[in-house]
């Protein structure tokens, strides 16, 4: 299993697209949060969903979203999970999947804002002030620690084509180094 971490707009979705094309089955922490938020009639905005995710972490522990998504993961060989936000989530995955590998995707804030605005998700931020707020929220959850403890770091600061090729090469390397993945 590979889990992906990185700040919003860093390129995690593109990483997943490459992995999916290489036969990996993907799961998304954000989808799990949005599913539970929808079931709780939470407004579909970044701030409302973020507040809901935060409330759930306070009530059920920092690893709650990992524990919930683990329930949905089928017994497959090549699994990739997008969106880990803290070490507690990492530890929850590690308990269930001991051969876990964590990859961080990094992109500077200005570029992340351009990408987020361009993707037009209904719950996305719209300007730098909102991105700073979202970054601060995710940093308060411990994403910085998760990023710093990743097994691999991929920097997404070039073209999409170059990034996709770098992801492909990293996945090949991980498959070779972790033959039980």
Domain limits at 114?
A: 2-177
pLDDT, average across residues 1-6: 96
Strand order across the 25-28 sheet: 25-28, 79-82, 2-6, 101-106, 152-155
Total domains, the chain: 1
Q: What percent of the chain has pLDDT over 70?
A: 99
Return the sign of the alpha-carbon dihedral for residues 168, 97, 82, 139: negative
Q: State pLDDT tens for residues 53-80.
A: 999 999 999 999 999 999 988 777 899 9
pLDDT of res. 179: 72
* Whole-structure pTM value: 0.89
* pLDDT digit string, tens, across residues 91-116: 999 999 998 999 999 999 999 999 99
Q: What is residue 42's predicted lDDT score, i.e. its pLDDT?
A: 95
pLDDT of residue 181: 44
Residue 92: CATH number of its domain: 3.40.50.300
Task: Please state, in angstroms and rounded to a whole number, the distance separating the CA atoms of residues 11 and 37.
Answer: 24
Q: What's the alpha-carbon Rg for the chain, to the nearest Å?
A: 16
For residues 152-181, give the mean pLDDT: 91
Please report the pLDDT score of residue 158 as a whole number: 92
Q: Is 180 helix (H, G, I), strand (E, B) or coil?
A: coil
Q: Where are the beta strands (DSSP E) in the chain?
A: 2-6, 25-28, 79-82, 101-106, 152-155
- Contact between residue 1 and residue 80 where contact means Cβ atoms under 8 Å apart: yes
Running DSSP on this structure, what letter comes out for residue 126?
A: -
Q: Is 82 helix (H, G, I), strand (E, B) or coil?
A: strand
- The helix (H) or strand (E) run that includes residue 72 is none
What's the pLDDT band for 152 if we cut at 50, 70, 90?
Answer: very high
């Amino acid at each position: 299993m590979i889990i992906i971490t990185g700040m919003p707009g860093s390129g995690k979705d593109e990483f997943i697209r490459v992995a999916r094309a290489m036969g990996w089955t993907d799961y998304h922490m954000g989808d799990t949060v949005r599913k539970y938020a929808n079931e709780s009639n939470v407004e579909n905005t970044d701030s409302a969903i973020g507040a809901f995710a935060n409330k759930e972490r306070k009530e059920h522990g920092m690893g709650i979203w990992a524990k919930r998504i683990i329930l949905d993961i089928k017994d497959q060989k090549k699994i990739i999970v997008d969106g880990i936000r803290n070490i507690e989530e990492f530890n929850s995955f590690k308990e269930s999947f001991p051969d876990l590998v964590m990859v961080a995707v990094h992109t500077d804030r200005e570029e992340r804002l351009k990408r987020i605005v361009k993707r037009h998700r209904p719950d996305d931020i719209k300007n730098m002030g909102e991105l700073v707020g979202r970054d601060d929220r995710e940093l308060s959850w411990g994403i910085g620690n998760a990023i710093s403890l990743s097994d691999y770091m991929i920097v997404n600061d070039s073209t999409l084509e170059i990034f996709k090729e770098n992801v492909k090469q990293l996945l090949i390397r991980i498959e070779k180094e972790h033959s039980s993945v």
